[in-house]
Amino acid sequence: MAAVLGNHDQESTLSREGVMKHIVSMKNTLSQLNPPEAHVIDGFGNYNLEVHGVEGSRLANKSVLNLYFLDSGDYSTVPSIPGYGWIKPSQQLWFERTSSKLQRAYANKPEPQKGPAPGLTYFHIPLPEFASFDTSNFTGVKQEGISSASVNSGFFTTMVAAGDVKAVFTGWMVQEARMVVAFEKTEKGSWETVKSIKTWKRLDDEHLTAIDGQAELECLKLFEHI
């Protein structure tokens, strides 16, 4: 399990830090409180996970898929700025450095690769740019408006400039989507990079019933056409 905080998580008996520490302490969690190399960073639950190649393959020691998790905050702490929180410069600096480090490792020996490994980014509050998407450039059904911060901190541009992020997953749904990343094996026995992402929702019932399954092929193209 890997988790990020939403904007309501501090509204009970635990602080945001306390909630994230509890998640980190849970069995089978992959969540982290914050990156150890970042001495100063805003929020809690900023971390990355590396998915290495299949054991025994030539990419077994390289991260072929990079997952970035960030705390988008809850509400603005600036009195003159109303509304929701946003991803701060300290978080963006950490993201840029981490992406650059992973891309260098992917391109270096042994088994140097051309181009960056694909990256997926997760945080709760949608970016202001999400409001510009319409039926011509997104897949799915839009049943409610986009609730974003009134401040555009530039993180969309930061991700595009990094060059490895292929899709972004945000919250703001009571029933969160879950996802599986598909790898395909070639005739020669090697493993190719991500070609598709499947998402679905699970009901809170006895069988954790999966509903609304969808192949998100277009989301991998989102950052390739900007």
Which domain does 99 fall in, by range? 16-174
**Residues 51-78: what's their mean pLDDT?**
93
Determine how many CB atoms are found less than 10 A away from the CB of residue 54. 14
Confidence of residue 188 (pLDDT cuts 50, 70, 90): low
How large a percentage of the chain has pLDDT more than 90?
54
**Residues 162-176: what's their mean pLDDT?**
73
Would you say residue 198 lies in a domain? no
Would you say residue 96 lies in a domain? yes
Number of structural domains (the chain) is: 1
Would you say residue 183 lies in a domain? no
Would you say residue 215 lies in a domain? no
Token pair in block for residue 150: 């009134």
Q: What is the pLDDT of residue 86?
A: 97
The predicted model scores a pTM of: 0.80
Which residue in 221, 1, 211, 3 sits closest to 118, CA to CA? Answer: 221
Q: What is the pLDDT of residue 7?
A: 92
Contacts of 43 (CB under 8 A, 6+ apart): 5, 16, 34, 70, 71, 72, 73, 88, 91
In this predicted structure, the answer to whether residue 191 has a pLDDT above a threshold of 50 is no
- pLDDT digit string, tens, across residues 78-133: 999 999 999 999 999 999 999 999 999 999 999 999 989 999 999 999 899 887 77
Would you say residue 5 lies in a domain? no
Confidence of residue 223 (pLDDT cuts 50, 70, 90): very low
The conformation of residue 42, written as its DSSP 8-state character, comes to S
Would you say residue 91 lies in a domain? yes
- pLDDT digit string, tens, across residues 139-149: 556 666 778 99
Q: What is the pLDDT of residue 208?
A: 85
Q: What is the pLDDT of residue 33?
A: 97
Which residue in 132, 145, 42 sits closest to 95, CA to CA? Answer: 42
Token pair in block for residue 226: 């900007």
Among 48-52, 84-88, 132-136, which stretch is predicted with the lowest mean pLDDT? Answer: 132-136
Q: Is 122 exposed, middle or buried (0-12, 13-18, 19+ CB in 10 A)?
A: buried
Q: Specify which residues 67 forms β-bridges with.
A: 49, 120
Would you say residue 63 lies in a domain? yes
Would you say residue 75 lies in a domain? yes
